[in-house]
Amino acid sequence: MTENTPTRYHPVQVTLHWLVVVLVFAAFVIGKTMSGQPNDADKLMPLALHMGLGIITMIVIVIRFVTRLKLPKPAHVSAGNPFFDWVGKAVHYALYLFVFLMAVSGMSLSVQTGLPSIVFGGSGSPLPADFFDFAARMLHGFIAPTLLLLVLLHVGAAFYHQLALKDKLFARMWYGK
């Protein structure tokens, strides 16, 4: 850490972080809600929304990862324990990976089931009888709870820093001098 090491993330990184939070939350809630719905015409709108949000999420997470490599960032915070510090770093990388895998598995499923032309192209073809007939649906369904677990660990750790260690961690992911 030098004199020039910032104390908070770059505003671009802050904006992309909170954008990913909103996008993943929305994609997750819509995904969970529509997965219980029958595969009829009423499902086209939630599918379009979910797929659109999922694709935007993938673009944003890739941009955030690339800009993270280029922009100055604050030093890692320590939880005062080398194991927790290691887990902290690993969870951050895993979050990028699992958001990416979530989107890629969703896109594979949509290609396997011809969704782009049905949902966005107005082809009029019926939706597949059951998405679970396709391997990518299993993957998408397994990655979702893993991502949820990672998010819970991430949020739990952030609150632990803020409230128990009182190291003002939240300020690093917000705007300011």
Q: Could you tell me the two tokens for 106?
A: 């969703």
Q: Is 64 a residue that touches ligand HEM (CB under 6 A)?
A: no
Based on CB atoms, which residue is closest to ligand HEM, 21 or 165?
21
Within positions 120 to 149, which residues make up the interface with ligand HEM, using CB under 6 A? 131, 140-141, 144
How far is 65 from 50, CA to CA, in rounded Å? 22
The answer to whether the beta carbons of residues 106 and 140 sit under 8 Å apart is yes
The answer to whether the beta carbons of residues 57 and 99 sit under 8 Å apart is yes
Based on CB atoms, which residue is closest to ligand HEM, 52 or 74?
52
90's CB contacts (< 8 A; 6+ apart) are none
* Binding residue (CB under 6 A) for ligand HEM from 28, 88, 94, 151: 28
> Taking contact as CB under 6 A, which single stretch among the options 28-36, 72-80, 84-92, 153-161 is the one that binds ligand HEM?
28-36
CB of 26 to ligand HEM, least distance (A): 9
Helices 44-70 & 82-112 angle (0-180, nearest 10) = 140
The answer to whether the beta carbons of residues 64 and 16 sit under 8 Å apart is yes
25's CB contacts (< 8 A; 6+ apart) are none
Q: Is 31 a residue that touches ligand HEM (CB under 6 A)?
A: yes
* Binding residue (CB under 6 A) for ligand HEM from 55, 158, 169, 173: 55
Residues at the contact surface with ligand HEM, assessed by CB under 6 A: 24, 27-28, 31-32, 34-35, 50-51, 54-55, 57, 99, 102-103, 106-107, 109-110, 131, 140-141, 144
